[in-house]
Amino acid sequence: MQVEKKEKLYEGKGKKLYKTSDENLLLAEFKDDLTAFNAQKRGNEEGKGALNCKISSEIFKLLETKGIRTHYKETLADNLMLCQFVEIIPIEVVVRNIATGSLTKRLGIKEGEKLPFTLVEFYYKDDSLSDPLINDEHALILNCVKSVEVLEYLRKIAREVNEILREFFDSRDLMLVDFKLEFGLNKEKEILVADEITPDSCRFWDKNTKEKLDKDRFREDLGNVKMAYEEILKRILLSL
C-alpha cells in the first residue's frame, strides 16, 4: 500500500507515530531506544526497533487469524508499521500467568510462582503518576471508559489474547510470564488491540532454562538484550 508519511503526531518511549495521507491510518516507527522504570533508565540497542516491528507484526497477524481485532494493517519497512488510527484508551491492561516484577514487590508473592488463575490488572496510563494500579471504579471516575461493560470487554479480550499467545509460545518452548496490552477506538468506535506486543511489553522465559528473553535483560543489566529479542523472533518464525 502506498501511503505518504505526514507530520509526527506523537513520540513515545518505543515508537514515533506519524499521520499519513489517509486520516484513518497512521505509521508507527519503532525506535532502538530502551527505557525502564518510567524512563529513569535509558539505553539504545541498534536494530531493536526493527526486531520489535517484525515481532509485533507477526503477533498481530496471528491474533487476527484467531479472530482478535487489532489496529495492524501492514508492515511497510524494517521498522515501519501501518496501523488503523485509534484513540488510545488510557489503561494499560496487564495479564499475568507467573508472579514477577511489580506483583512480587507489591504483594510479596514469590518470584516465579505460577498464579492459581490468570490475573488481569488495570494501570492508569499517566507517566506523571508513574502509571498507578487502578480498579474499575477508578477507571470510571478517571473517565478512561464510558461504562463498566467496556472494562469487562477489555478483560475478556485480554484473557483470549493470553490463551492464544500462551499456547503459541508454549509450542516454541517459551513461557509467557506476563504482558501488557493497550486498546484503542477506531472511527467506528470499535475497540481494537493497539500499540505493540513485543519483548518490551511482555516477559518471556525459556521453558527449560528459565532464561529471561525480554526487556528484563535491560532492566536488570543482564546483557545480551538484542540476542534475546532475536531469539524471540527466531522462535516465532519457526514452522512447526
Residues that bind ligand TMP (CB under 6 A): 92, 94, 101-103, 131, 178-180, 201-203
Asked if 92 and 125 count as a contact pair (C-beta separation under 8 A), the reply is yes
> Which of 146, 35, 169 is CA-nearest to residue 97?
169
Residue 194 cell numbers, joined = 493497539
Residue 3 cell numbers, joined = 501511503
Question: Quick one: DSSP state of residue 221?
Answer: T
Q: Which is nearer to ligand TMP, 144 or 202 (CB)?
A: 202
- Residue with the shortest CB distance to ligand TMP: 101
- In angstroms, the CA 207 to CA 110 distance is 18
Q: Which is nearer to ligand TMP, 25 or 202 (CB)?
A: 202
Q: Which is nearer to ligand TMP, 6 or 233 (CB)?
A: 233
**Measuring CA to CA, how many Å separate 80 from each of 51, 118, 128, 204?**
11, 33, 28, 24
Q: Which is nearer to ligand TMP, 22 or 160 (CB)?
A: 160
Cite the beta strand spans of 21-141 per DSSP E.
25-30, 33-36, 41-44, 72-77, 80-84, 87-88, 91-98, 114-124, 133-134
Q: Which is nearer to ligand TMP, 75 or 201 (CB)?
A: 201
For residue 95, the one-letter residue type is V
For residue 202, the one-letter residue type is C
Q: Closest separation between CB of residue 121 and ligand TMP, Å?
A: 8
**Measuring CA to CA, how many Å separate 56 from each of 131, 159, 197?**
23, 18, 5
Q: Closest separation between CB of residue 173 and ligand TMP, Å?
A: 19
Q: Closest separation between CB of residue 168 and ligand TMP, Å?
A: 16
Q: Which is nearer to ligand TMP, 72 or 179 (CB)?
A: 179
> Which of 54, 86, 91 is CA-nearest to residue 70?
86
Q: Which is nearer to ligand TMP, 3 or 165 (CB)?
A: 165
Asked if 17 and 28 count as a contact pair (C-beta separation under 8 A), the reply is yes
Q: Closest separation between CB of residue 178 and ligand TMP, Å?
A: 4
Q: Closest separation between CB of residue 84 and ligand TMP, Å?
A: 21
Q: Closest separation between CB of residue 203 and ligand TMP, Å?
A: 4
Q: Closest separation between CB of residue 202 and ligand TMP, Å?
A: 5
